[in-house]
Structure 1
Amino acid sequence: MAFTRAAGKHRRPSVLSRKSANIAGVAALTTTGVIGTLAPQAFAAEQDLAAEDTGTIRAVALDHSAEVVAERIEEQAQAQQKVLDEAEAARKAEAERKAEAKRKAEARAKKEREDRERAAREAERKRLNTFRLPVAGSYVSTSYKSGGALWSSGSHSGVDFHAASGTSVVAVGAGTVVEAGWGGAYGNNIVIRMNDGSYTQYGHLSSIGVSVGQSVGSGDQIGLAGSTGNSTGPHLHFEARTSPEYGSDIDPVAYLRGHGVSV
Protein backbone atom coordinates (compact mmCIF):
# COMPACT_ATOMS: atom_id res chain seq x y z
CA MET A 1 0.00 0.00 0.00
CA ALA A 2 1.36 3.24 -0.92
CA PHE A 3 1.44 6.46 1.39
CA THR A 4 1.06 10.00 0.14
CA ARG A 5 2.98 13.06 1.94
CA ALA A 6 0.67 15.73 3.07
CA ALA A 7 1.22 19.03 1.39
CA GLY A 8 0.52 22.66 2.55
CA LYS A 9 1.60 25.07 5.22
CA HIS A 10 0.64 22.86 8.06
CA ARG A 11 2.94 20.21 6.94
CA ARG A 12 5.71 19.48 9.51
CA PRO A 13 9.25 19.75 8.18
CA SER A 14 11.21 16.62 7.88
CA VAL A 15 13.97 15.68 10.25
CA LEU A 16 16.55 16.51 7.60
CA SER A 17 14.96 19.86 6.98
CA ARG A 18 14.92 20.54 10.70
CA LYS A 19 18.56 19.61 11.05
CA SER A 20 19.43 21.73 8.12
CA ALA A 21 17.49 24.54 9.62
CA ASN A 22 19.13 24.03 12.97
CA ILE A 23 22.56 24.01 11.45
CA ALA A 24 21.73 27.19 9.50
CA GLY A 25 20.32 28.75 12.65
CA VAL A 26 23.43 27.94 14.67
CA ALA A 27 25.58 29.36 11.92
CA ALA A 28 23.41 32.39 11.76
CA LEU A 29 23.46 32.77 15.51
CA THR A 30 27.19 32.31 15.55
CA THR A 31 27.65 34.77 12.79
CA THR A 32 25.16 37.18 14.28
CA GLY A 33 26.76 36.85 17.65
CA VAL A 34 30.21 37.65 16.30
CA ILE A 35 28.90 40.52 14.26
CA GLY A 36 26.83 41.68 17.21
CA THR A 37 29.87 41.56 19.42
CA LEU A 38 32.24 43.22 16.97
CA ALA A 39 29.90 45.93 15.73
CA PRO A 40 29.50 47.87 19.02
CA GLN A 41 33.23 47.72 19.58
CA ALA A 42 33.99 49.14 16.11
CA PHE A 43 31.39 51.84 16.51
CA ALA A 44 32.73 52.79 19.87
CA ALA A 45 36.25 52.96 18.41
CA GLU A 46 35.02 55.14 15.62
CA GLN A 47 33.27 57.42 18.15
CA ASP A 48 36.43 57.66 20.27
CA LEU A 49 38.55 58.48 17.21
CA ALA A 50 36.01 61.07 16.06
CA ALA A 51 35.94 62.57 19.56
CA GLU A 52 39.73 62.62 19.71
CA ASP A 53 39.97 64.24 16.29
CA THR A 54 37.31 66.78 17.22
CA GLY A 55 39.11 67.63 20.49
CA THR A 56 42.42 67.99 18.75
CA ILE A 57 40.91 70.27 16.13
CA ARG A 58 39.14 72.25 18.84
CA ALA A 59 42.41 72.54 20.84
CA VAL A 60 44.33 73.60 17.75
CA ALA A 61 41.65 76.14 16.94
CA LEU A 62 41.74 77.50 20.51
CA ASP A 63 45.53 77.66 20.44
CA HIS A 64 45.42 79.53 17.14
CA SER A 65 42.77 81.93 18.42
CA ALA A 66 44.84 82.59 21.56
CA GLU A 67 47.90 83.28 19.42
CA VAL A 68 45.91 85.70 17.24
CA VAL A 69 44.55 87.50 20.30
CA ALA A 70 48.03 87.64 21.86
CA GLU A 71 49.48 88.99 18.63
CA ARG A 72 46.76 91.63 18.40
CA ILE A 73 47.31 92.63 22.05
CA GLU A 74 51.04 92.82 21.40
CA GLU A 75 50.46 94.90 18.28
CA GLN A 76 48.16 97.25 20.20
CA ALA A 77 50.68 97.49 23.03
CA GLN A 78 53.46 98.26 20.55
CA ALA A 79 51.30 100.85 18.81
CA GLN A 80 50.45 102.49 22.13
CA GLN A 81 54.11 102.41 23.18
CA LYS A 82 55.07 103.98 19.86
CA VAL A 83 52.57 106.79 20.44
CA LEU A 84 53.94 107.29 23.95
CA ASP A 85 57.53 107.23 22.69
CA GLU A 86 56.74 109.74 19.97
CA ALA A 87 54.94 111.99 22.46
CA GLU A 88 57.90 111.75 24.86
CA ALA A 89 60.34 112.48 22.06
CA ALA A 90 58.25 115.48 21.01
CA ARG A 91 58.11 116.70 24.61
CA LYS A 92 61.87 116.37 25.00
CA ALA A 93 62.47 118.10 21.68
CA GLU A 94 60.18 120.96 22.71
CA ALA A 95 61.87 121.20 26.10
CA GLU A 96 65.28 121.26 24.44
CA ARG A 97 64.09 123.90 21.98
CA LYS A 98 62.80 126.07 24.81
CA ALA A 99 65.98 125.53 26.82
CA GLU A 100 68.10 126.45 23.80
CA ALA A 101 65.95 129.52 23.17
CA LYS A 102 66.31 130.48 26.84
CA ARG A 103 70.09 129.99 26.70
CA LYS A 104 70.31 132.13 23.58
CA ALA A 105 68.10 134.81 25.14
CA GLU A 106 70.18 134.81 28.31
CA ALA A 107 73.40 134.92 26.30
CA ARG A 108 72.00 137.75 24.19
CA ALA A 109 70.86 139.64 27.30
CA LYS A 110 74.24 139.05 28.94
CA LYS A 111 76.08 140.32 25.87
CA GLU A 112 73.82 143.38 25.66
CA ARG A 113 74.37 144.06 29.36
CA GLU A 114 78.13 143.64 28.98
CA ASP A 115 78.09 145.89 25.92
CA ARG A 116 76.18 148.56 27.85
CA GLU A 117 78.54 148.28 30.80
CA ARG A 118 81.55 148.39 28.49
CA ALA A 119 80.15 151.42 26.72
CA ALA A 120 79.44 153.10 30.06
CA ARG A 121 82.96 152.36 31.27
CA GLU A 122 84.40 153.65 28.03
CA ALA A 123 82.30 156.79 28.25
CA GLU A 124 83.36 157.27 31.84
CA ARG A 125 87.00 156.63 30.96
CA LYS A 126 86.78 159.16 28.17
CA ARG A 127 85.04 161.60 30.47
CA LEU A 128 87.65 161.12 33.15
CA ASN A 129 90.50 161.31 30.69
CA THR A 130 89.04 164.28 28.86
CA PHE A 131 90.35 167.65 29.97
CA ARG A 132 88.68 171.00 29.43
CA LEU A 133 89.01 174.67 30.26
CA PRO A 134 88.34 175.55 33.92
CA VAL A 135 86.01 178.32 32.74
CA ALA A 136 83.97 177.42 29.66
CA GLY A 137 84.56 179.67 26.66
CA SER A 138 87.12 181.76 28.50
CA TYR A 139 90.61 182.90 27.52
CA VAL A 140 93.91 183.64 29.21
CA SER A 141 94.02 187.26 30.41
CA THR A 142 97.42 187.04 32.14
CA SER A 143 100.04 184.58 30.89
CA TYR A 144 102.35 182.23 32.76
CA LYS A 145 105.55 183.76 34.21
CA SER A 146 104.42 187.31 33.59
CA GLY A 147 106.59 189.66 35.74
CA GLY A 148 105.51 192.37 38.11
CA ALA A 149 105.19 193.58 41.68
CA LEU A 150 101.85 191.89 42.01
CA TRP A 151 103.49 188.54 42.69
CA SER A 152 105.76 187.94 45.64
CA SER A 153 107.98 185.64 43.61
CA GLY A 154 108.37 188.31 40.95
CA SER A 155 106.50 186.30 38.31
CA HIS A 156 103.14 184.76 37.71
CA SER A 157 103.06 181.12 38.86
CA GLY A 158 99.99 180.35 36.77
CA VAL A 159 97.59 181.90 34.28
CA ASP A 160 94.52 184.02 34.79
CA PHE A 161 91.30 183.14 32.96
CA HIS A 162 88.84 185.88 32.34
CA ALA A 163 85.70 185.29 34.43
CA ALA A 164 83.05 187.48 35.99
CA SER A 165 82.28 187.03 39.66
CA GLY A 166 80.03 184.05 40.21
CA THR A 167 81.04 182.31 36.98
CA SER A 168 81.12 178.51 37.27
CA VAL A 169 84.58 177.02 37.75
CA VAL A 170 85.01 173.34 36.89
CA ALA A 171 87.68 170.69 37.38
CA VAL A 172 89.77 170.47 34.23
CA GLY A 173 89.97 166.69 34.66
CA ALA A 174 89.14 163.85 37.04
CA GLY A 175 90.83 163.64 40.40
CA THR A 176 90.53 163.97 44.17
CA VAL A 177 90.35 167.18 46.17
CA VAL A 178 93.37 167.53 48.49
CA GLU A 179 92.84 171.14 49.55
CA ALA A 180 89.71 173.28 49.79
CA GLY A 181 89.73 176.50 51.79
CA TRP A 182 91.61 179.72 52.39
CA GLY A 183 94.96 179.87 50.65
CA GLY A 184 96.46 183.22 51.72
CA ALA A 185 97.29 185.28 48.64
CA TYR A 186 95.19 182.83 46.59
CA GLY A 187 92.10 183.64 48.65
CA ASN A 188 89.58 180.81 48.54
CA ASN A 189 91.38 178.08 46.62
CA ILE A 190 91.09 174.40 45.68
CA VAL A 191 93.88 171.95 44.87
CA ILE A 192 93.06 168.67 43.05
CA ARG A 193 95.30 165.65 42.62
CA MET A 194 94.57 164.53 39.08
CA ASN A 195 94.26 160.86 38.13
CA ASP A 196 97.48 161.07 36.12
CA GLY A 197 99.42 162.13 39.26
CA SER A 198 99.64 165.84 38.45
CA TYR A 199 97.98 168.64 40.43
CA THR A 200 95.80 171.62 39.48
CA GLN A 201 95.03 174.71 41.58
CA TYR A 202 92.12 177.17 41.37
CA GLY A 203 92.39 180.53 43.21
CA HIS A 204 90.53 183.72 44.11
CA LEU A 205 87.17 181.88 44.26
CA SER A 206 84.10 183.62 45.63
CA SER A 207 82.82 180.30 46.96
CA ILE A 208 83.98 176.68 47.27
CA GLY A 209 81.66 173.79 46.37
CA VAL A 210 83.79 170.72 47.25
CA SER A 211 85.56 169.27 50.27
CA VAL A 212 88.87 167.47 50.87
CA GLY A 213 88.74 163.80 49.88
CA GLN A 214 85.93 164.28 47.39
CA SER A 215 86.30 162.75 43.94
CA VAL A 216 85.48 164.97 41.00
CA GLY A 217 85.15 164.34 37.31
CA SER A 218 86.15 166.38 34.33
CA GLY A 219 83.73 169.30 34.03
CA ASP A 220 82.29 168.97 37.54
CA GLN A 221 81.64 172.35 39.12
CA ILE A 222 83.89 172.92 42.12
CA GLY A 223 83.29 176.61 42.88
CA LEU A 224 82.53 180.08 41.60
CA ALA A 225 84.95 182.68 40.27
CA GLY A 226 85.63 185.74 42.41
CA SER A 227 88.31 188.15 43.63
CA THR A 228 89.33 186.90 47.06
CA GLY A 229 92.95 187.09 48.30
CA ASN A 230 95.62 189.08 46.46
CA SER A 231 93.48 190.07 43.45
CA THR A 232 92.77 193.22 41.46
CA GLY A 233 89.41 192.02 40.15
CA PRO A 234 87.26 188.96 39.44
CA HIS A 235 89.06 186.22 37.52
CA LEU A 236 90.27 182.66 37.97
CA HIS A 237 93.90 181.98 38.82
CA PHE A 238 94.79 178.51 37.48
CA GLU A 239 98.01 176.56 38.09
CA ALA A 240 99.37 173.18 37.03
CA ARG A 241 101.81 171.58 39.50
CA THR A 242 103.90 168.49 40.07
CA SER A 243 102.95 168.50 43.78
CA PRO A 244 100.28 170.15 45.93
CA GLU A 245 102.79 172.70 47.19
CA TYR A 246 103.43 176.21 45.98
CA GLY A 247 106.58 176.47 43.88
CA SER A 248 106.08 173.16 41.94
CA ASP A 249 104.25 174.93 39.14
CA ILE A 250 104.60 174.06 35.44
CA ASP A 251 103.32 175.85 32.37
CA PRO A 252 99.49 175.49 32.67
CA VAL A 253 98.85 176.28 29.00
CA ALA A 254 101.27 173.57 27.87
CA TYR A 255 99.71 171.25 30.48
CA LEU A 256 96.19 171.80 29.13
CA ARG A 257 97.28 171.52 25.53
CA GLY A 258 99.11 168.32 26.40
CA HIS A 259 95.75 166.94 27.53
CA GLY A 260 93.98 167.94 24.33
CA VAL A 261 92.51 171.26 25.44
CA SER A 262 92.55 174.14 22.98
CA VAL A 263 93.81 177.21 24.80
Structure 2
Amino acid sequence: MAFTRATGKHRRPSRTKRTSTKTVGVAALATTGVIGTLAAPALAAEEPSAEQTGLTQAITIRDSVAEQLDAQAAAQEQAAVEAEALKKAAQEAARKRAAEQAKEKAEKEREAKERAAREAERKLLSSYKAPISGSYVSTGYQSGGSLWSSGSHTGIDFHAASGTAVHAVGAGSVVEAGWEGSYGNQVIIKMNDGTYTQYAHLSSISVSVGQKVTPGQQIALSGATGNVTGAHLHFEARTSAEYGSDIDPLAYLRSHGVNV
Protein backbone atom coordinates (compact mmCIF):
# COMPACT_ATOMS: atom_id res chain seq x y z
CA MET A 1 0.00 0.00 0.00
CA ALA A 2 1.57 3.31 -0.97
CA PHE A 3 1.67 6.47 1.19
CA THR A 4 1.84 9.98 -0.18
CA ARG A 5 3.50 12.73 2.01
CA ALA A 6 1.20 15.65 2.51
CA THR A 7 2.51 19.04 1.58
CA GLY A 8 1.96 22.31 3.29
CA LYS A 9 3.64 25.58 4.17
CA HIS A 10 4.92 24.26 7.43
CA ARG A 11 6.65 21.28 5.91
CA ARG A 12 10.50 21.38 5.68
CA PRO A 13 11.78 21.09 2.13
CA SER A 14 13.32 17.83 1.27
CA ARG A 15 17.06 17.43 0.66
CA THR A 16 16.47 16.99 -2.99
CA LYS A 17 14.59 20.26 -3.14
CA ARG A 18 17.15 22.17 -1.17
CA THR A 19 19.93 20.99 -3.42
CA SER A 20 17.94 21.83 -6.49
CA THR A 21 17.17 25.25 -5.16
CA LYS A 22 20.91 25.96 -4.41
CA THR A 23 21.83 24.78 -7.86
CA VAL A 24 19.25 27.03 -9.41
CA GLY A 25 20.53 29.94 -7.32
CA VAL A 26 24.13 29.42 -8.38
CA ALA A 27 23.07 29.17 -11.96
CA ALA A 28 21.16 32.39 -11.60
CA LEU A 29 24.15 34.13 -10.09
CA ALA A 30 26.38 32.92 -12.85
CA THR A 31 23.84 34.12 -15.43
CA THR A 32 23.55 37.60 -13.90
CA GLY A 33 27.30 37.98 -13.29
CA VAL A 34 26.92 38.28 -9.57
CA ILE A 35 29.48 35.50 -9.09
CA GLY A 36 32.14 37.75 -10.56
CA THR A 37 31.30 40.32 -7.94
CA LEU A 38 31.57 37.75 -5.22
CA ALA A 39 34.96 36.62 -6.48
CA ALA A 40 36.52 40.06 -5.93
CA PRO A 41 36.98 39.62 -2.17
CA ALA A 42 38.86 36.40 -2.87
CA LEU A 43 41.39 38.29 -5.05
CA ALA A 44 41.66 41.01 -2.43
CA ALA A 45 42.62 38.38 0.09
CA GLU A 46 45.95 37.98 -1.72
CA GLU A 47 47.03 41.53 -0.57
CA PRO A 48 49.46 41.45 2.44
CA SER A 49 47.88 41.62 5.81
CA ALA A 50 48.80 44.26 8.38
CA GLU A 51 51.08 41.74 10.11
CA GLN A 52 52.85 40.93 6.86
CA THR A 53 53.31 44.65 6.06
CA GLY A 54 54.96 45.31 9.44
CA LEU A 55 57.40 42.42 8.95
CA THR A 56 58.38 43.75 5.53
CA GLN A 57 59.02 47.19 6.99
CA ALA A 58 61.14 45.68 9.78
CA ILE A 59 63.21 43.75 7.25
CA THR A 60 63.65 46.87 5.12
CA ILE A 61 64.79 48.92 8.14
CA ARG A 62 67.13 46.15 9.23
CA ASP A 63 68.69 46.01 5.77
CA SER A 64 69.05 49.81 5.71
CA VAL A 65 70.75 49.86 9.12
CA ALA A 66 73.10 47.07 8.02
CA GLU A 67 74.03 49.03 4.92
CA GLN A 68 74.69 52.12 7.04
CA LEU A 69 76.85 50.13 9.43
CA ASP A 70 78.79 48.63 6.54
CA ALA A 71 79.29 52.07 5.04
CA GLN A 72 80.41 53.42 8.42
CA ALA A 73 82.83 50.52 8.92
CA ALA A 74 84.25 51.06 5.42
CA ALA A 75 84.66 54.78 6.10
CA GLN A 76 86.40 54.06 9.40
CA GLU A 77 88.70 51.56 7.72
CA GLN A 78 89.52 54.06 4.99
CA ALA A 79 90.14 56.75 7.60
CA ALA A 80 92.45 54.36 9.48
CA VAL A 81 94.37 53.61 6.27
CA GLU A 82 94.69 57.31 5.50
CA ALA A 83 95.76 58.06 9.08
CA GLU A 84 98.42 55.34 8.92
CA ALA A 85 99.65 56.75 5.61
CA LEU A 86 99.82 60.24 7.10
CA LYS A 87 101.65 58.86 10.14
CA LYS A 88 104.21 57.10 7.95
CA ALA A 89 104.62 60.23 5.82
CA ALA A 90 105.15 62.32 8.95
CA GLN A 91 107.68 59.81 10.30
CA GLU A 92 109.55 59.79 6.98
CA ALA A 93 109.55 63.59 6.88
CA ALA A 94 110.84 63.69 10.46
CA ARG A 95 113.55 61.16 9.59
CA LYS A 96 114.61 63.23 6.59
CA ARG A 97 114.65 66.41 8.67
CA ALA A 98 116.73 64.67 11.34
CA ALA A 99 119.12 63.35 8.70
CA GLU A 100 119.43 66.80 7.12
CA GLN A 101 119.98 68.41 10.51
CA ALA A 102 122.60 65.80 11.39
CA LYS A 103 124.29 66.40 8.04
CA GLU A 104 124.21 70.17 8.55
CA LYS A 105 125.56 69.74 12.08
CA ALA A 106 128.34 67.46 10.86
CA GLU A 107 129.17 69.93 8.07
CA LYS A 108 129.28 72.83 10.52
CA GLU A 109 131.47 70.82 12.89
CA ARG A 110 133.77 69.89 10.03
CA GLU A 111 133.99 73.51 8.90
CA ALA A 112 134.61 74.62 12.49
CA LYS A 113 137.40 72.04 12.85
CA GLU A 114 138.92 73.15 9.56
CA ARG A 115 138.77 76.79 10.63
CA ALA A 116 140.31 75.88 13.97
CA ALA A 117 143.04 73.88 12.24
CA ARG A 118 143.75 76.73 9.81
CA GLU A 119 143.83 79.21 12.66
CA ALA A 120 146.13 76.95 14.67
CA GLU A 121 148.37 76.53 11.64
CA ARG A 122 148.35 80.27 11.00
CA LYS A 123 149.30 80.94 14.61
CA LEU A 124 151.96 78.27 14.48
CA LEU A 125 153.44 79.56 11.24
CA SER A 126 153.43 83.11 12.53
CA SER A 127 154.95 82.19 15.87
CA TYR A 128 158.68 82.29 16.71
CA LYS A 129 160.81 80.25 19.07
CA ALA A 130 164.28 80.56 20.56
CA PRO A 131 166.89 78.58 18.55
CA ILE A 132 168.20 76.93 21.74
CA SER A 133 165.74 76.06 24.52
CA GLY A 134 166.62 77.33 28.00
CA SER A 135 169.86 78.97 26.89
CA TYR A 136 171.26 82.50 27.04
CA VAL A 137 173.34 84.83 24.90
CA SER A 138 177.04 84.41 25.66
CA THR A 139 178.30 86.92 23.04
CA GLY A 140 176.27 89.90 21.89
CA TYR A 141 175.68 91.42 18.49
CA GLN A 142 178.48 93.63 17.04
CA SER A 143 180.89 92.73 19.80
CA GLY A 144 184.41 93.79 18.70
CA GLY A 145 187.60 91.75 18.60
CA SER A 146 190.15 89.95 16.50
CA LEU A 147 188.08 86.79 16.48
CA TRP A 148 185.90 88.13 13.65
CA SER A 149 187.28 88.97 10.22
CA SER A 150 184.88 91.89 9.86
CA GLY A 151 186.08 93.33 13.16
CA SER A 152 182.75 92.80 14.91
CA HIS A 153 180.32 90.02 15.66
CA THR A 154 177.65 89.75 12.94
CA GLY A 155 175.30 87.67 15.11
CA ILE A 156 174.85 86.43 18.63
CA ASP A 157 176.18 83.29 20.29
CA PHE A 158 173.97 81.03 22.39
CA HIS A 159 175.58 78.96 25.08
CA ALA A 160 175.16 75.28 24.08
CA ALA A 161 177.15 72.12 24.67
CA SER A 162 178.00 70.09 21.59
CA GLY A 163 175.02 67.97 20.49
CA THR A 164 172.32 70.32 21.81
CA ALA A 165 169.18 70.45 19.64
CA VAL A 166 168.97 73.52 17.39
CA HIS A 167 165.50 74.70 16.32
CA ALA A 168 164.20 76.84 13.49
CA VAL A 169 163.05 80.10 15.03
CA GLY A 170 160.10 80.36 12.64
CA ALA A 171 158.44 78.93 9.53
CA GLY A 172 160.29 79.03 6.24
CA SER A 173 162.26 77.09 3.62
CA VAL A 174 165.87 75.90 3.81
CA VAL A 175 168.03 77.68 1.21
CA GLU A 176 171.47 76.49 2.37
CA ALA A 177 172.57 73.42 4.35
CA GLY A 178 176.22 72.37 4.56
CA TRP A 179 179.76 73.55 5.05
CA GLU A 180 180.55 77.29 4.83
CA GLY A 181 184.19 78.12 5.70
CA SER A 182 184.65 79.85 9.04
CA TYR A 183 180.97 79.19 9.89
CA GLY A 184 181.58 75.45 9.70
CA ASN A 185 178.40 73.51 9.14
CA GLN A 186 175.53 75.96 8.70
CA VAL A 187 171.82 76.18 7.81
CA ILE A 188 170.21 79.26 6.30
CA ILE A 189 166.40 79.54 6.23
CA LYS A 190 164.32 82.00 4.26
CA MET A 191 161.54 82.95 6.67
CA ASN A 192 157.93 83.42 5.65
CA ASP A 193 158.20 87.14 6.35
CA GLY A 194 161.02 87.45 3.77
CA THR A 195 163.92 87.68 6.22
CA TYR A 196 166.68 85.05 6.65
CA THR A 197 168.10 83.30 9.69
CA GLN A 198 171.49 81.55 9.96
CA TYR A 199 172.56 78.75 12.34
CA ALA A 200 176.32 78.01 12.36
CA HIS A 201 179.12 75.84 13.88
CA LEU A 202 176.79 72.80 13.82
CA SER A 203 178.00 69.31 14.59
CA SER A 204 175.30 67.75 12.36
CA ILE A 205 172.48 68.89 10.04
CA SER A 206 169.03 67.19 9.79
CA VAL A 207 167.41 69.24 6.99
CA SER A 208 168.10 69.74 3.29
CA VAL A 209 167.80 72.55 0.76
CA GLY A 210 164.19 73.15 -0.30
CA GLN A 211 162.70 71.61 2.81
CA LYS A 212 159.99 73.57 4.62
CA VAL A 213 160.32 73.93 8.37
CA THR A 214 158.00 75.04 11.14
CA PRO A 215 158.68 77.07 14.29
CA GLY A 216 160.53 75.03 16.87
CA GLN A 217 161.38 72.19 14.47
CA GLN A 218 164.76 70.62 15.10
CA ILE A 219 167.11 71.29 12.19
CA ALA A 220 170.57 70.42 13.59
CA LEU A 221 172.78 69.82 16.59
CA SER A 222 175.14 72.42 18.00
CA GLY A 223 178.86 71.92 17.78
CA ALA A 224 182.24 73.53 17.31
CA THR A 225 182.86 73.33 13.55
CA GLY A 226 184.55 76.21 11.70
CA ASN A 227 186.35 79.12 13.35
CA VAL A 228 185.45 78.76 17.04
CA THR A 229 187.01 78.57 20.48
CA GLY A 230 184.40 76.17 21.82
CA ALA A 231 181.00 74.65 21.24
CA HIS A 232 178.12 77.07 20.89
CA LEU A 233 175.46 78.18 18.40
CA HIS A 234 176.07 81.20 16.21
CA PHE A 235 172.76 82.79 15.17
CA GLU A 236 172.22 85.60 12.68
CA ALA A 237 169.23 87.48 11.30
CA ARG A 238 169.66 88.86 7.76
CA THR A 239 167.80 90.70 5.03
CA SER A 240 169.25 88.30 2.44
CA ALA A 241 171.08 84.98 2.40
CA GLU A 242 174.40 86.74 1.83
CA TYR A 243 177.02 87.62 4.38
CA GLY A 244 176.98 91.31 5.38
CA SER A 245 173.18 91.77 5.33
CA ASP A 246 172.94 91.10 9.06
CA ILE A 247 170.50 92.88 11.39
CA ASP A 248 170.29 92.87 15.18
CA PRO A 249 169.21 89.27 16.01
CA LEU A 250 168.03 90.08 19.55
CA ALA A 251 165.81 92.90 18.30
CA TYR A 252 164.62 90.58 15.52
CA LEU A 253 163.65 87.79 17.94
CA ARG A 254 162.03 90.15 20.41
CA SER A 255 159.98 91.79 17.66
CA HIS A 256 158.48 88.35 17.08
CA GLY A 257 157.72 87.73 20.73
CA VAL A 258 160.83 85.74 21.72
CA ASN A 259 162.37 86.92 24.96
CA VAL A 260 166.05 85.99 25.27
Q: Answer yes or no: is 1:40 the counterpart of 2:39.
A: yes
Tell me how far apart the structure 2 counterparts of residues 63 and 246 of structure 1 sit (CA, whole Å): 120
Q: Which amino acid aligns with 1:10?
A: R
> Structure 1: where are the runs of 5+ without partners?
1-7, 15-20
State the 1:38 CA deviation: 2.0
Closer/same/farther in 2, CA of residues 244 and 63 from structure 1, 3 Å limit: farther
Q: Matched residues in 2 for 1:12 and 1:224: separation? A: 178
Per-residue Cα deviation, 1:118-146 (whole angstroms, up to 9, x for no partner)? 32322222222111110011111111112
Instruction: Look up the equivalent residue of 1:38 and give its one-letter code.
Output: T
Percent identical among aligned pairs is: 50
Residue 97 (structure 1) aligned to one of 94, 97, 103: 94
- Tell me how far 1:41 sits from its aligned partner: 3.7
Offset at residue 255 of structure 1 (A): 0.5
Instruction: Please show how residues 56-71 of structure 1 align to structure 2 within 5 Å.
Output: 58=56, 66-71=63-68
Aligned-residue Cα RMSD (Å) equals 3.0
Deviation for aligned residue 1:73: 2.2
**2:6 matched to which residue of 1?**
11
Which has the larger displacement, 25-34 or 167-176? 25-34
- The CA deviation string for residues 139-178 of structure 1, in whole angstroms up to 9 with x for no partner, is 1111111222222222211111111111110000111111
Relative to structure 1, is the Cα distance of residues 139 and 28 closer, same or farther in structure 2, using a 3 angstrom cutoff?
Answer: same
TM-score under structure 2 normalisation? Answer: 0.81
Q: How is 1:68-217 mapped onto 2 (pairs within 5 angstroms)?
A: 68-217=65-214
One-letter code aligned to 2:149 = S
Q: For residue 197 of structure 1, report the CA deviation from its aligned partner.
A: 1.3
- Kindly state the Cα deviation for residue 29 of structure 1 after the two structures are TM-superposed: 5.5
Aligned equivalents of 1:117 and 1:151: distance in 2? 49
- The residue identity in structure 1 corresponding to 2:5 is H
CA distance in 1, matches of 2:168, 2:216: 5
Q: 1:254 to 1:110 in 2, by over 3 A?
A: same
Count of aligned pairs = 244
Q: Deviations over 1:186-223 (max 9, x none)?
A: 11000111111111110110000101111111110000
- 2:238 corresponds to which of 220, 241, 249: 241
Instruction: For residue 65 of structure 1, report the CA deviation from its aligned partner.
Output: 5.0
Q: Give 3-state SS (helix, strand or coil) of 2:96's partner.
A: helix
Q: Per the alignment, do residues 28 and 187 of structure 1 end up closer, same or farther by CA in structure 2, a change over 3 Å counting?
A: same
Whole-Å separation in 1 of the counterparts to 2:114 and 2:26: 129
Q: Any idea what the Cα deviations from partners look like across 1:72-101, whole Å, max 9, x if unmatched?
A: 222111111111122222222222333333
Secondary structure of 1:161's aligned partner:
strand
Measure the CA separation in 2 of the matches of 1:120 and 1:258. 25
Question: What SS is found at the alignment partner of 1:201?
Answer: strand
Q: 1:216, 1:37 → 2: CA distance?
A: 135
Question: CA, structure 1 residues 97+71, in 2 after alignment: closer, same or farther (shift >3 Å)?
Answer: same
TM (norm. structure 1) is 0.81
